[in-house]
Amino acid sequence: MDIFKVIGVGIVGAVIGVFLKDGKPEFVIFSVMAAGVMILIFVLNSLTDVIDAFNTLVNKTNIDERLFSGILKIIGIGYVTEYSAEVCNDMNCASIAGKIQLAGKITIFLMAMPVMTAFIDVISGLAY
């Protein structure tokens, strides 16, 4: 991921939003969302490297593949939740953002239980 592209798109989106705020405030949200979507596309394109690294780890170990996929899903839920909450904050909907974050935390907690169980099984298997 080229961080300079991300920074450039973010700054351009913010500047366009500032200019639109005085003349056409109803279009500010579109400029902010367009910049956010472009940044998200840059980030998602670079996630293939992370997924490949996880697959390499899975292939090198004897740990169940579901454990690694669960961890990857938990990380993804955390990022998507944070991104969605920040979009809501950008639109001055802090209460909705808080509810999104709460739902994300509960979802992560629920998804972490099988991962924790698998880790305990692996650790208890090493002890014997």
pLDDT in tens, 86-117: 888 888 889 999 999 999 999 999 999 988 88
| Per-residue pLDDT tens digits for 27-80 | 888 888 889 889 888 888 888 887 888 788 778 877 777 787 888 889 989 989
Whole-number Cα distances in Å, 107 to 24, 41, 47, 75, 83: 39, 24, 22, 11, 15
Please give the model's pTM, rounded to 2 decimal places: 0.70
Q: What six digits make up the tokens of 69? A: 């996929």
